[in-house]
Amino acid sequence: MEEARDIAIIGGGPAGLTAGIYTRRSGVDSVLLERELPGGQAVFSPLIENYPGFPEGISGAELMAKMKEQASRFGLELRDFSEVRAIEETKDGKRLTTDKVVIIAKAVIVATGRSPRKLGIPGEEEFTGRGISYCATCDGPLFKDKEVMVVGGGDAAVEEALHLTRFAKRVILVHRRGELRASSYLEERARNEEKLDFMLNSEVREIKGDKTVNSAVVENNKTGERNLVPVSGVFVYVGNVPNTKFLEGFIDLDEAGYIITNGYLETSVPGIFAAGDVRSRDFKQVVVSAGEGALAAASAMRYLEKIGAKEAYEGDHAPQ
C-alpha cells in the first residue's frame, strides 16, 4: 500500500517534532515516522538545565512529552514503530519504504538522531539488559544500594553517574584518559560527590557474570595492570553513532556517517533536508536540534513552493 504526502519527517526527537509543529501549523500535509517512540535520546536525560524557558530545569522526558503534545495539537500524524528502511528517488517524489507502508513524499526531513556506541568487548552482548545498560535514567532504580560502573568521561557519562548516586551505594566512573572531558560545572559536581569514585587512564576489557553482571575487568592503559572490579551494573557512555545506515549511497555523509548539509539544511539530494544530531556538526544540544527542526521545515516548505507542489504558505517560514 502506498500513501502520498507533501512532507515526511523521519525521526521523533526534538528536531523532528519541531519540524512537525512548523509544517502542520502552516497547514502542510505531514507525517512523522519514528522507529520507536517519539522523544529521541533527550527522553533519557534526567535534567535539562539549559533549555530556554525552564529556569529550574526540566527532565528530558517531560520536555519531549510537551513537544509531542504541541505537535499533536496542530494535527501532526505521529506513527510510532515505523522504521524507514530505504529511500529512493521516483518521478512522483521520494519513496520511503517502512516495515508497514510505502510513502511517496514530495519532501523529506531526516531527523533520525544518533544511538549509543557500544564497547565491543566480551560479555557486552550477553549481559545487555542483564546488568549492562545505556540509560541510567531508565534503569538506575534497579540498582538501589548496589555498586555500579559508568564507562565514559564526557558530559553524558558524568551526568548519568551523578544521577546513579541517587540509587547506588557506590558509583565508579571509568575513563580512558587522565582527565574528564565533561564541562567544568559537571566535573565539579562529580568531584564533590562522596558516592562517586574515579578510575582514570583505564578501560573496561571484559564484563563478567552469571545470570547477571557481577564484575568488570578494568585495565590501566599506562601500566597494563588488570583488576577484576565487583559491580552489579555497567552503564556505557562512550559516544554515539548516527542513524544513517538506510541513507548510505543515497545522500552525502561525512566520514563518521553524519549527513552533510548546507546552511539551509539541504542535503545533496534536492527535496531532502536534515536536522538535529544526525547532521554533521559539532554542537549536539536539544535547543540546537529544535532550532534546526524549524529551519528544515521552512526550507522544505520553500522547496514545495519551488517545485509548484503548493502555493506559497503563509506563516512561520516567511522571511522576517
Annotated catalytic residue: which of 80, 92, 99, 138? 138
Q: How far apart are CA 74 and CA 57, in angstroms?
A: 26
Residues 189-209 have pLDDT tens digits of 999 999 999 999 999 999 999
Are 127 and 141 in contact by the 8 Å Cβ rule? The answer is: no
Fold of the 2-116+240-306 domain: FAD/NAD(P)-binding domain (3.50.50)
- Active-site annotation holds for 92: no
Q: Which of 6, 29, 139, 277 does the annotation list as catalytic?
A: 139
Residue 68's pLDDT band, with cuts at 50, 70 and 90, is: very high
Contacting residues for 94 by C-beta, under 8 A, at least 6 apart: 8, 87, 88, 104, 105, 106, 107, 108, 271, 272
Q: Is the pLDDT of residue 159 over 70?
A: yes
CATH class of 124-236: alpha beta
Domain boundaries, the chain: 2-116+240-306, 124-236
| pLDDT at site 166 | 95
Single pTM value for the model: 0.80
Query: Cell 587512564, residue?
Result: 201
Query: What percentage of the chain has pLDDT greater than the value 90?
Result: 84
Q: Which three cell numbers stand for residue 267?
A: 542535503
Q: Write the DSSP assignment of 152-170 as a string of letters.
A: --SHHHHHHHHHHTTT-SE
C-alpha distances in Å from residue 315, one per residue of 67, 81, 136, 185, 243: 20, 31, 41, 40, 31
Known active-site residue 138: yes
Of 148, 155, 249, nearest in space to 199 by CA: 148
CA angle 123, 127, 131 (to 5 degrees): 125
Domains 2-116+240-306 and 124-236 share a fold: yes
> Distance between CA 304 and CA 68 in Å, rounded?
25
